[in-house]
Amino acid sequence: MSIDARVDSVIRYEDGGGELRLIDRPARPGGVPGIKGQSLLWFHTAPHEVTALNGLDIWGGSSTLMLGDIAIARRDGYAHIVFCDRETFLIAVERYHQSERSVA
């Protein structure tokens, strides 16, 4: 259940649930591409800002979904995730963007 993917799109349903559609993570210069592991992760609820994941690289194993070095969700089955609290999610997104700027 390993994931090394880019979020291709975030779909929100009217009931508050939704899905993350994943693609293989492109390789960085001199690196190797990631393997998405699966095409879709779905959720019942998410932070309002969940669409901020569009285009970002996520990774994880059988228990946790990570954005950079911060856990943003726990795995609850093969394709279902439960997001962390909103504050942790926003910190993860901010730190992800900070680290991407420092790499550039």
Q: Is the pTM above the cut of 0.85? A: yes
Would you give the end-to-end CA distance of the chain in angstroms? 30
CA distance 39 to 41: 7
Domain ranges of the chain: 3-103
Q: Give residue-wise pLDDT tens across range 36-54.
A: 999 999 999 999 999 999 9
pLDDT on residue 91:
98
Inter-CA distances, 97 with 17, 43, 52, 54, 77, Å:
25, 23, 11, 12, 29
